[in-house]
């Protein structure tokens, strides 16, 4: 499956928009991430285009994500020879889990821990407990391999767009004056500014309630350039 080498993929920031690695590349180390994939339909992409068009008037460097998912782990480093045992441990842990429905319809702004990247995401508003159960099992596998577990009190979300740097001030400041008009009901209810962002677009988009409801049908592990899928029952 992995013929002839223990080298991970070569890192070149120029090939991925100037993103900075969270940890330096070392021979034999493979960046590994566990997540639930999200398959975007045409209507979802239409909604995303509307959000991105508005967002780029404030942060022009924002770009759309190429693929969509909900993270169940941090990005961790695995040695090459631990990849298959790690994946097998994951399969054993999640074997009894059934697929479930969730909704992600609350727009929110995120940064990575190093504040080198900013993301626009849709936060999960129903199905949160199911994701917590999955994370608990993924965390147990991480502990078995002496790796970092997931964040405390995680905000599960689908990242929609990203940019290099910490752009929270641009998105929460100039945006807010305009969006308070679109989101006056939530403003009166005391919603946090970053939660209000673009809520008007999401709420007003045709069939957004059904559009932003989805099923978690599998867990996927990406290690380097290898993908491993674990279907839920």
Flag whether 16 is in a domain: no
Flag whether 4 is in a domain: no
CA angle 172, 71, 119 (to 5 degrees): 20
Task: Note the pLDDT tens digit of each residue in 168-200.
Answer: 988 876 664 443 334 333 444 454 544 444 445
CATH number of the domain where residue 208 is located: 3.90.1140.10
Reference 166, options 120, 121, 111, 122; nearest CA is 111
How many whole angstroms separate alpha carbon 81 and alpha carbon 33?
Answer: 16
Flag whether 196 is in a domain: yes
| Tokens standing for residue 206 | 């045709």
The residues with which 35 forms a beta bridge, in sequence order, are 71, 220
pLDDT at 12: 53
| Tokens standing for residue 93 | 């842990």
Report whether 68 contacts 159 (CB < 8 A): yes
Flag whether 12 is in a domain: no
Query: Rounded to the nearest 10 degrees, how much is the dihedral formed by the CA atoms of 216, 222, 226, 232?
Result: -30
Output phi, psi for 152, to 5 deg: -70, 140
How many whole angstroms separate alpha carbon 134 and alpha carbon 132?
Answer: 5
Which parts of the chain register pLDDT below 50? Answer: 1-9, 16, 176-189, 191, 193-199
pLDDT at 202: 57
Report, as residue numbers or ranges, the catalytic residues: 69, 157
State the average pLDDT for the chain.
82
Q: Tell me how many domains the chain contains.
A: 1
pLDDT at 199: 47
Flag whether 94 is in a domain: yes
pLDDT at 171: 80
The residues with which 162 forms a beta bridge, in sequence order, are 63, 119
Residue ranges making up the domain that contains 207? 25-221
Flag whether 203 is in a domain: yes
Reference 142, options 219, 69, 33; nearest CA is 33
Flag whether 1 is in a domain: no
Flag whether 15 is in a domain: no
Report whether 191 contacts 203 (CB < 8 A): no
pLDDT at 29: 93
């Amino acid at each position: 499956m992995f013929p002839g080498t223990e080298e991970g993929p070569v890192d070149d920031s120029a090939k991925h928009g100037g993103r900075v690695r969270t940890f330096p590349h070392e021979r034999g180390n493979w960046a590994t991430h566990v997540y639930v994939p999200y398959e975007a339909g045409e209507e979802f992409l239409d909604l995303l285009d509307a959000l991105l068009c508005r967002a780029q008037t404030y942060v022009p460097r924002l770009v759309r994500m190429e693929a969509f998912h909900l993270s169940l782990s941090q990005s961790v480093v695995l040695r090459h020879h631990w990849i298959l045992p790690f994946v097998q441990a994951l399969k054993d842990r999640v074997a009894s889990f059934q697929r479930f429905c969730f909704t992600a319809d609350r727009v929110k702004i995120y940064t990575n821990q190093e504040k080198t990247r900013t993301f626009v995401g849709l936060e999960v508003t129903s199905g949160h407990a199911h994701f917590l159960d999955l994370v608990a099992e993924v965390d147990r596998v991480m502990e078995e391999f002496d790796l970092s577990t997931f964040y405390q009190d995680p905000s599960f979300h689908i990242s929609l767009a990203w940019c290099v740097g910490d752009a929270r001030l641009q998105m929460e400041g100039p945006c807010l004056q305009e969006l308070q008009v679109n989101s006056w009901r939530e403003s009166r209810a005391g919603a946090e500014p970053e939660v209000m962002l673009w809520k008007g677009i999401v709420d007003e988009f045709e069939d957004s309630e059904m559009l932003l409801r989805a099923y978690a049908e599998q867990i996927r592990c990406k290690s380097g350039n290898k993908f491993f899928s674990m279907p839920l029952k």
